[in-house]
Structure 1
Amino acid sequence: MKLITLHHGVFFVAVATLCGCSPSAAPPIVFPSDVQISAALEAQFAGDRHSAAARELIRTLGGDKGKLRYQIHQVIYRQGAYEARYDAVLVMGQPGLQSLQALYASMIPEAERTKLPQASLEVYEGWLKEQAQALKKTSAPQAAALEKTLELLGNCYRDQQAGAEVIVMQGLGALISPERNGLYAEKLALPDTTARCLPA
């Protein structure tokens, strides 16, 4: 009887090996969905006290109805957590011309802005271009940076309509960890992260 039991045990192990399974095999890895990862990233951005200026900038560029959408490219399992690689996309809640006017207004000191003949994109943009010209006499690098910023922002937003999507950050990363109430996101510093369509 002992011999029969041994043979049955050997048979069971052999079958398990052929099936590629084992009584002690780890359960399969279940990856979170893009929706779940995006929700964790949204919660992190909304609650991070260091992101207050970034949230205000997104409101300026996107309008009150604008929002960020996270385009997930890759999710890597990291021993109980997940590393997500993604881009941040601004969904425009207003026309791009309105966004540029609001942004350029914020770039002009209030004391100078109140002296301008009218509150319009053309006037604000003209004032900033004049500043760039004036800076060439004292700080050529600052002048070049301002001119480059104005050109970049104009190309990004001038022709955009409400509902359009603009990539504002590429190559972002975050560690997504399970917590009691769902998933928790922690931003990762990655060397290939680049800003697009944002003021310098």
Structure 2
Amino acid sequence: MKLHRTCSFFFLCALALLAGCGRSAGGVERNGVRFPADGEITASLAANFEKDPNTAQARTLLATLGGEKGQLDYAVRDVVSRGPVFEAHYDVGLRLGQAGSDSLNKLYAAMVPPAERAQLGGNDLAAHERWLAAQAQALEKTDPAQAQSLRATVEALGKCYRTAKVGDRVPLMEGLVASLAPSRNGWYAEKIAVPGTVLRCLPV
């Protein structure tokens, strides 16, 4: 159904949120090895992001959840030297440029088919949540597992965003890994798929 495809769309967008603006910090030297600084890591991830074919989808999700002034916020956890290549371990969150309740309202509004929007009886968060609850109820007869998943997603997102204020950081993904290779223009980043990546405040 359309709802399932929409949720899948946002999930795929989430996987593209692996680069963007982040905080910089001084580099570290250990045992004669000069490790890239956080700012250099962020710059290389941003360059990778610009070439990613999913950039448009990622920006759509960012604008929906964070607002026009929303920004990705990176936390580099560790950097491992593997010969000439480094391996960056990091998490990513979203610094909200709007109230979290607005984030939920925009996200849920995008899930409602255009033909049904006029029947909602409102365009606020409460109206959209009632529609989602009705969808979950209808799914109980045909797909109980999806109904349960929808309810769980709405509950989890509510805990993440409902009371969040402008400027708050909402965790998105944890346990991300990227390889960093030296290049003539600085560092070249390439995402590495790892089983330990955890989705936090994203629709699934």
Name stretches of at least 5 consecutive residues in structure 1 with no aligned partner: 1-26
- Identity value in percent: 48
Residue 195 of structure 1 is matched in structure 2 by 199
Cα deviation, 1:29-58, whole Å, max 9, x if unaligned, reads 211101111121223223311343233112
- Once residues 68 and 129 of structure 1 are traced to their aligned partners in structure 2, the CA distance between those partners, rounded to angstroms, is 30
1:74-115 Cα distance to aligned partner (Å, 9 max, x none):
100111111000001111111001100000001111211233
CA positional deviation for 1:181: 1.5
Call closer, same or farther: CA 1:181–1:121 in 2, change over 3 Å: same
Runs of 4+ in 1 over 3 A off after TM superposition: none
Verify: 1:72 aligned to 2:76, yes or no. yes
Alignment of 1:131-142 (within 5 A): 131-142=135-146
Aligned residue for 2:121, secondary structure, equals coil
Task: Check if 1:54 corresponds to 2:58.
Answer: yes
- Alignment root-mean-square deviation, CA: 1.3
1:116 alignment counterpart: 120
Q: Which sections of structure 2, spanning at least 5 residues, go unmatched?
A: 1-30
Q: Give the Cα separation in 1 of the matches to 2:50 and 2:150.
A: 29
Tell me, in whole angstroms, the C-alpha distance in 2 between the residues paired with 1:77 and 1:52: 32
State the 1:121 CA deviation.
0.6
Matched, 1:143 2:134: no
CA–CA distance in 2 between the matches of 1:72 and 1:50? 23
- Measured in 2, the distance between the counterparts of 1:99 and 1:121 equals 9
Corresponding pairs, count: 174
TM-score (normalizing by structure 2) = 0.82
**Using the alignment, how far apart are the partners of 1:179 and 1:111 within structure 2?**
51
Rounded Cα–Cα distance in structure 2 between residues aligned with 1:113 and 1:182: 49
**SS in structure 2 opposite 1:183?**
strand
Q: Which residue is 1:106 aligned to? A: 110
Give the Cα separation in 1 of the matches to 2:87 and 2:195.
15
Tell me the secondary structure at the aligned position of residue 136 of structure 1: helix
1:63 aligns with 2:67: yes
Name the SS of the counterpart of 1:168 in structure 2.
strand
- Equivalent residue in structure 2 for 1:159, among 158, 163, 169: 163
Q: Give SS of 2:79's match.
A: strand
Q: Distance in 2 between matches of 1:78 and 1:59?
A: 36
Aligned partners of 2:121 and 2:93: how far apart in 1? 35
